[in-house]
Structure 1
C-alpha cells in the first residue's frame, strides 16, 4: 500500500459517511434547542396576551369585607327577614316580611349575577307598591341560572337566593346560612 492511496475496506465500502446534514444525530441534537425556543415563544405569547391572575394583594381588606358580609347575613337572620320573588315576563315582584309581618322600605336593591357572563349582571331598584310588596321592570325576560342578592336601602342586611329562569313558582330568598 502506498502512502497516497486511501485505505480501503472490504467489499468496496468507504469510511466517508456523507455530508453532516444527511445524518440523523446532528438533526436530533439541534431539534432539542429548536423545540425549546418555539415552546418559550409560545409561553411568552400566552403570558402576554392572557388576562392576569386574580391574585389579591390586599387580603386583609378582603377579609374585613367578608366579615361585613357575614354580619349582614347575621342581621337578616336575627331580624327574621325572608323574601319571595316572582318573575313574570318583564316584571319582577318581591314580597318581603320580617318575622311574618310585611316590611316597608322606600326601595330595595336586587343584584342579579349570572354565573359565567359578567356582562349580563343586573342591579335593579325595586319600588314599593304595597305593604311589603316591591316591583321593578326588565327590558326583556331573563333566562338561565342567576344568583340573587337582595338588600335594603342602608345595605345593613342581605338575603340571598338562586334562580333558574323562567320559573313559574316564587323563589325564596333567605339569609345565607352561618357555618
Structure 2
C-alpha cells in the first residue's frame, strides 16, 4: 500500500480566510460596545444624582414643616391651564392673609431641563394668574409656595387631561 500525501497548492495566507475573521468578530463587537457605553456614561448628564445630598436631606424636615403649616391654615388650591396661561384659586378654611404673589413650580419627574417656575400674580379674591414658559405634556410634580417660604402645597398633575388640579394641604398630610 502506497499512501502518499499531497499538499494543496491553493492555500492562502490566514488573513484571506473567512473563519479567523468570523471568530474575531464577536470579541471585536464586545470591545466596540464597551467603548460606546463608556462614552455615553461620561458624556451624558445624570440629572438624578446630586452632589449636595446631605444638604438636601436636611431640607426634608423644613419642607415637611411647611406642608404642616399649610395644613394648619387649611389651604387648598385649584389650578387650571388654558394654552400658555395658568390660573389658580387659592382658598383657606379660616381667615388667612393671601400674599400678592405666589410661586408655582412645575417639575418634570425625569427631565429637569423642562422645569418651570411661574410667578403667579394676585387678581383679587384668591385668584392668581401667570404665564407658562414652555409646553406642558405628561406628568408633572407641582408645588405652590408663598414668597416668605412659610407654607407649601404640592401634588402631581397629568397636564394632558385638561382637568384642573386640586391641591389640598389636609389630603397631603
TM-score between both structures, scaled by the size of structure 1: 0.69
- Residue 124 of structure 1, aligned match among 118, 138, 143: 118
User: Of the candidates 111, 115, 128, which is equivalent to residue 109 of structure 2?
Assistant: 115
After superposition, the CA RMSD in angstroms is 3.7
Indicate if the aligned counterparts of 1:89 and 1:140 stay in contact, CA closer than 8 A: no
Q: Any stretches of 5+ residues in structure 2 without a counterpart?
A: none
8 Å Cα contact 2:116-2:132 kept in structure 1 = no
Aligned ranges 1:53-64 → 2 under 5 Å = 54-64=48-58
Change (3 A) 1:93 1:100: farther
Q: Helix, strand or coil for the counterpart of 2:148?
A: coil
Shift of 1:20: 8.0
Could you list the per-position Cα deviations for residues 54-77 of structure 1 after superposition, in whole angstroms to 9, with x for gaps in the alignment?
544543212101222222112111
Between 141-150 and 37-46, the greater mean CA deviation after superposition = 37-46
Q: CA deviation at 1:51?
A: 3.2
Answering whether residue 169 of structure 2 is matched by residue 177 of structure 1, we say no
Match of 2:131 in 1: 137
| Residues paired across the two proteins, number | 170
CA deviation after TM superposition for structure 1 residue 137, in Å = 3.2
Report if aligned partners of 2:116, 2:133 keep a CA contact under 8 Å in 1.
no
SS of the residue corresponding to residue 150 of structure 2 reads: coil
